[in-house]
């Protein structure tokens, strides 16, 4: 068992590892100190002058933030807003430099700009900017004529002032053992939900502690089509029932992806890679003729060497009952007051 696998097993068990609890306590103290420094103005934060919506989470790993950012950008665009998307650009070379922010173009290389920003630029066709200093990215988008910004992640990035915070919670495994890093998966205490403006629960509609009556909405990701990486041809998931495939996932929660494939009737041979992994052709040379199915986030990094047997699963955000309408009405009201 690798260190990563051991940590995840410990994070989602009933009790945090004893050896790591002192480090979690120290991490909590540093979080509190950092927050106090920003509140006091000792650490500076900035605002681009247009409304900023943060879509983030409290835990390490994937909760569905990026698909929700994509959905929000598209829906706000349909309502007439000029939308821009902010990202740090994890996994890209730009994220390792502290130079100026830059725009992401649909034909950029994921190795430079990061997988999630490139995916968002291609899927939404709205301006996307990346930068370690996300305030700079936000100001760059404001200068491009954007009227509202949606930040993919950044709940803990206090250097960027925000107008609306939306926390995404994994409905199946909300907070693990409830401990802060490294003994648990929490980047901030679960009590932080009392301070956000809305909570979106992804997946199982289990009760999530929601102090202060923060508005809550429930979403899921539905499989729509399998898309070929080479020609962009599409195939309906029902045609893949009973088919054995290589399933590739370099995302925060790969098991959710594998479970989705099994739910579609496939028999996945699971291949887990680190989040934001930079793929090489050798990574996907499995030595047989089975089709390879991956996530859209993985596909943007494999397109340059893809073969006809590589596909990605296109998913769509869906909300329970009237939650989509409620969320957009709530968000529209908040933006009307901010703009």
Give residue-wise pLDDT tens across range 204-259: 755 555 555 799 999 999 999 999 999 999 999 999 999 999 999 999 899 999 99
Neighbour-count burial for 22-55, b at 16+ CB within 10 Å, e otherwise? eebeebbeebeeeeeeeeeeeeeeeebebbbbbb
Full domain range(s) for residue 257: 221-318
Residue with tokens 């590892």, as numbered in its chain: 17
CA distance 223 to 133: 34
Average pLDDT, the chain: 93
Is residue 194 located within the same domain as residue 265?
no
Is residue 288 located within the same domain as residue 325?
no
Is residue 150 located within the same domain as residue 197?
yes
Report yes or no on 30 lying in a domain. Answer: no
Q: Strand 164-170 and strand 148-152: pairing?
A: unpaired
- pLDDT band of residue 323 (cuts 50, 70, 90) is very high
Report yes or no on 2 lying in a domain. Answer: no
CA atoms within 13 A on the CB side of 179: 25
Rounded to 5 degrees, what are φ and ψ at 22? -60, -35
Report yes or no on 19 lying in a domain. Answer: no
Report yes or no on 226 lying in a domain. Answer: yes
Is residue 276 located within the same domain as residue 325?
no
**Choice between 88 and 281, residue whose per-residue pLDDT is larger:** 281
Report yes or no on 39 lying in a domain. Answer: no
Is residue 235 located within the same domain as residue 201?
no
Task: Judge contact between 323 and 218, C-beta under 8 A.
Answer: yes
Is residue 186 located within the same domain as residue 297?
no
Report yes or no on 95 lying in a domain. Answer: yes
**Cβ-proximal residues to 234 (8 Å cutoff; 6+ apart), any chain:** 225, 226, 227, 228, 314
Is residue 180 located within the same domain as residue 52?
yes
Is residue 119 located within the same domain as residue 262?
no
**Residues comprising the chain, all counted:** 339
3-state secondary structure of 83: strand
Is residue 306 located within the same domain as residue 273?
yes
Is residue 230 located within the same domain as residue 287?
yes
| Cα R_g (the chain), whole angstroms | 20
Report yes or no on 121 lying in a domain. Answer: yes
User: Does the pLDDT value for residue 111 go beyond 80?
Assistant: yes
What percent of the chain is modeled with pLDDT above 70? 95
CATH number of the domain bearing residue 113: 3.40.50
Element (H or E) spanning 180, and its range? Answer: none
CA distance 104 to 126: 10
Report yes or no on 244 lying in a domain. Answer: yes
Task: Judge contact between 119 and 300, C-beta under 8 A.
Answer: yes
Is residue 199 located within the same domain as residue 56?
yes
Mean pLDDT of 117-126: 96
* pLDDT tens string 49-103: 999 999 999 999 888 999 999 999 999 999 999 999 999 888 776 766 666 799 9
CATH number of the domain bearing residue 313: 3.40.190
User: Does the pLDDT value for residue 26 go beyond 90?
Assistant: yes
What is the domain count for the chain? Answer: 2
Least confident of 27-31, 100-104, 156-160, 298-302: 100-104
Is residue 257 located within the same domain as residue 301?
yes
3-state secondary structure of 310: strand
**Cβ-proximal residues to 190 (8 Å cutoff; 6+ apart), any chain:** 58, 174, 175, 178, 209
């Amino acid at each position: 068992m690798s260190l990563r696998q051991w940590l995840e097993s410990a994070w989602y068990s009933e009790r945090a590892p004893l050896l790591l609890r002192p480090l979690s306590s120290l991490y909590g103290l540093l979080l509190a100190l950092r927050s106090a420094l920003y509140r006091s103005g000792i650490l500076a934060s900035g605002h681009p002058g247009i409304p900023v919506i943060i879509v983030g989470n409290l835990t390490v790993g994937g909760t569905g933030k990026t698909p929700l950012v994509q959905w929000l950008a598209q829906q706000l665009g349909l309502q007439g807003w000029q939308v821009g998307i902010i990202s740090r650009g994890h996994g890209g070379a730009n994220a390792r430099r502290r130079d100026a922010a830059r725009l992401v173009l649909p034909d950029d290389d994921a190795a430079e700009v990061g997988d999630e920003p490139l995916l968002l630029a291609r899927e939404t066709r709205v301006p996307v900017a990346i930068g370690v200093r996300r305030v700079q990215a936000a100001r760059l988008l404001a200068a491009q004529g954007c009227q509202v910004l949606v930040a993919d992640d950044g709940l803990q990035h206090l250097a960027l002032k925000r107008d609306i915070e939306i926390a995404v919670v994994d409905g199946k495994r909300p907070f693990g053992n409830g401990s802060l890093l490294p003994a648990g998966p929490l980047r901030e205490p679960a009590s932080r939900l009392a301070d956000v403006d809305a909570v979106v629960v992804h997946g199982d509609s289990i009760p999530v502690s929601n102090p202060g009556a923060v508005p809550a909405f429930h979403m899921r990701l539905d499989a729509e089509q399998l898309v070929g990486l080479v020609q962009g041809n599409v195939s309906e998931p029902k045609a893949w029932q009973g088919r054995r495939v290589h399933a590739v996932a370099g995302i925060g929660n790969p098991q959710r992806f594998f479970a989705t494939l099994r739910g579609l009737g496939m028999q996945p041979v699971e291949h887990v890679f680190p989040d934001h992994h930079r793929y090489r052709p050798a990574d996907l040379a499995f030595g047989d003729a089975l089709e390879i199915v991956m996530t859209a986030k993985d596909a943007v990094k494999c397109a340059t060497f893809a073969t006809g047997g590589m596909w990605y699963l296109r998913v769509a955000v869906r909300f329970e009952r009237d939650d989509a309408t409620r969320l957009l009405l709530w968000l529209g009201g908040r933006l009307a007051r901010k703009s």
